[in-house]
Amino acid sequence: MSKTGLSVFSEGDLEYSVDYVTSLALKPGHSKKVAITFPSQELMHIFMENLFSSFIINKVPKDNSLDIVLNIPDDV
């Protein structure tokens, strides 16, 4: 099982994470899991919009065995 944790606190982090998750989704295999932490709900929404676009552009299949956990700390 591939398991990774990422933190997105800047535009650079966001771009890296979108690229990383897209490439992970395109790799063969099962049980690919990534947890991503954001400082705000707004940044999480921007990430998801960009990821959705990246999946379309890169033709990521629906059945890609990817499990994404999105975390936003309670104290923000």
**Distant-in-sequence contacts of 43-47, Cβ < 8 A, 24+ apart:** 43/8, 43/14, 44/8, 44/70, 44/72, 46/14, 47/8, 47/14, 47/17, 47/18
Report the pLDDT averaged over residues 14-35.
94
Q: Which amino acid would we find at residue 9?
A: F
Q: pLDDT digit string (tens) for 25-75?
A: 999 988 899 999 999 999 999 999 999 999 999 999 999 999 999 999 886
Where exactly are the structural domains of the chain?
Answer: 2-71
Phi, psi dihedrals of residue 52, rounded to the nearest 5°? -60, -45
Q: What is the pLDDT of residue 1?
A: 47
Q: Are the C-beta atoms of 13 and 50 separated by less than 8 Å?
A: no
Q: Give the pairing type, strands 66-71 and 2-7.
A: unpaired
